[in-house]
Amino acid sequence: MVVQNRPAGRAVAIGVAIAMACAALVAPTLAQAQPEARTSAKKDVQVIAFQQSWNTIAKECTDTYGPEGVAYVEVSPPQESIQGTQWWTSYQPVSYKLDSKLGTEAEFKNMIKQCNAAGVDIIADVVINQTTGSDVAAGDQKGVAGSDYNGSTGTYPGFATSQYPGGITDSDFHGCKRNISDYTNQQEVQECRLSSMWDFDSESEKVQDIQSDYLVSLWNAGVRAFRMDAVKHINTNSMKALKEKFAQKIGKNANDIYWIQEVIGNSSEASGIQPSNYLQNGTVTQFGFKSEMNQAFKDKIAKLKGLKDRLDKDIDSANANVFVTNWDTARNQGALTYKDGSRFQLANAFMLAYDYGTPRLLSDYKWDVNDNGAPGATDTKVPDVDMGSACSANSSDWNCEQRWTSTRGMIAFHNYAGDAAVTDWQDDGDSNIAFSRDGKGFIAINNSKDDKNASYTTSLADGEYCDVYAVMDCSKTVTVKGGKVETKIPAHSAIALYAGATKTSHPQASAAKDPSDPDIGQQDDEVSATDKTVTIYYKPANATGRPPRSTTVWAMTGTSRKPT
């Protein structure tokens, strides 16, 4: 197993933070300077800016992500794709040009420059397993940037490079033309088609050359981390060869390139497609974590005791990327979402407070139809959004999770706690838990419908601390006395304290709460405790003839995954 070296999160200098604060005094947000204890802390929090334009993200890096201590923003696939308003069209590339419905190549590079100036690195979502479906509209088609392609014949001249001026043809795909149905057969999973989409011959020297050139173009644009999509459908040794070819072209050691691989494990499937096989290349996504969150916060959160020990047996913490939900799981059940109110908010707080894995948050838009693209999206473009305006209330088309009071506070908590271990675990066997982070932090979560008069032990030093879950300006405090926290924890809420945010020294803020905070007043307390988590990754072709991104359906229970 290779534990790759991750780029250290940037430490934002006080002067830079003050400059950004002056530029962002347009809303009552935490865009002010941060105390040195926060800015010098280790950073690794990732935010997925799902289906957001490059201009939108650039501004949000300056206004929000940089000041609040986010290390990475993951952007949706930046390459040219098929046309369509649906979000999944981004996952069907027709060329590797950096002109997409999210912006031009120039806008992409400017976004990276602005985010880097704010202390934030960019993760690119990279699609290299497939192109489009063979059953798209017959005849020649054009991508969002005008590149020609024919999904019926497997002809994609837009992938042309100087070495391969003819681009991609049907000979550059695996020969299997049937859809995947048997996940116990590794060859079928990695050489046949997902929902009829042409499956790249990942073992081909030509394909690896073209795809490594694409990765080089992302690197040269300033991308410093890569989320590799649908990796279980690519042989791990082919992935390794691609990464090494890419590393050689940019003069780097492959282990020094931050690599996040989407691999969904299932013990009943072929052994060769399990997440552990891919650790030789980099980190992997830990889907078991989101399943644990979904079940515990809809049942008894006391069951989260010992979570790290359980998950470490599957994927060790250093190689696990954890999340409460992502865009796939949110739209296809099996995960908590913004629609779950306080449960979603509390689960994200737990993730940021806990000591397992690298946390990933989701900045998403609100949706009722799973396939719907971003608000205002056309077949070829997603409009820019001013998040300062969109998030000025909690009633907009965007859920604005990156700006919530609790998110801001818990990112600061997470960065301050660093590698400190979870200690002092306490629970009531049901809906209340509490734990410390070895003298650096303390959190108590009340997932019930009733207030909790609590008395908890903590390793935090005695003193008066800001409740960073509840407020940004330290207008609410909690006292630690004699190693005890004795306070009332509101229903469907939490308290979170860390040693860098005390009554006498705390992060500055121009308001107590962010206006985008979700309304949990109408919390539904009746939730089934026998939830059968379902995640859909590739959907069958829809009525338009375009094959959306997803067909494989899994029922998930904890960290076990069984096909339905």
Tell me if 92 sits within 8 A of 38, measured CB to CB. no
- What is the spatial distance between Cα 303 and Cα 301, in angstroms, rounded to a whole number? 5
- Token representation of residue 81: 């794709």
Tokens found for residue 313: 């047996």
* 466: Cα separation from own chain's centroid: 28
Angle, nearest 10°, between helix axes 236-250 and 205-221? 50
Site of tokens 């490059």? 54
Q: Which residues of 321-352 are buried (b: 16+ CB within 10 A; e: fewer)?
A: bbbbbbbbbbbbbbbbbbebbbbbbbbbbbbb
The 3-state secondary structure of 500-516 reads CCECCCCCCCCCCCCCC
Token pair of 388, please?
């300062």
Catalytic residue among 229, 314, 328, 401: 229
Residue 162 structure tokens: 């100087």
What phi, psi does 439 have (nearest 5°)?
A: 85, -5
Identity of the residue numbered 117: A
CA–CA dist 113, 91 (Å, integer): 25
* E strand intervals along 115-273: 121-126, 130-133, 141-142, 148-149, 197-199, 225-228, 258-261
Cβ–Cβ contacts within 10 Å for residue 397, how many? 13
Q: What are phi and psi of 430, to 5 degrees?
A: -145, -105
Question: Which ranges constitute the DSSP H helices of 222-357?
Answer: 236-250, 287-296, 307-312, 327-331, 342-353
Annotated catalytic residue, options 80, 99, 213, 262: 262
Least Cα distance to 399 among 496, 519, 513 occurs for 519
> Which is it for strands 72-75 and 46-49: parallel, antiparallel or unpaired?
parallel
Q: Are 129 and 234 in contact (CB under 8 A)?
A: yes
Contact 490, 435 (CB under 8 A): no
Neighbours of 536 (CB within 10 A): 19
C-alpha–C-alpha distance, residues 238 and 257, integer Å:
17
- Asked about 229 being catalytic, the answer comes back as yes
Strands (E), 340-428: 358-363, 423-427
Q: Are strands 560-563 and 553-557 parallel, antiparallel or unpaired?
A: antiparallel
SS3 per residue for 91-143: HCECCCCCCECCECHHHHHHHHHHHHHCCCEEEEEECCCEEEECCCCCCCEEC
Cα–Cα distances (Å) from 32 to 339, 405, 501, in that order, read 30, 14, 15
What is the residue whose two structure tokens read 């049942």? 299
Judge whether 201 and 184 are in contact, CB under 8 Å.
no
Catalytic annotation present for 464: no
Catalytic residues: 229, 262
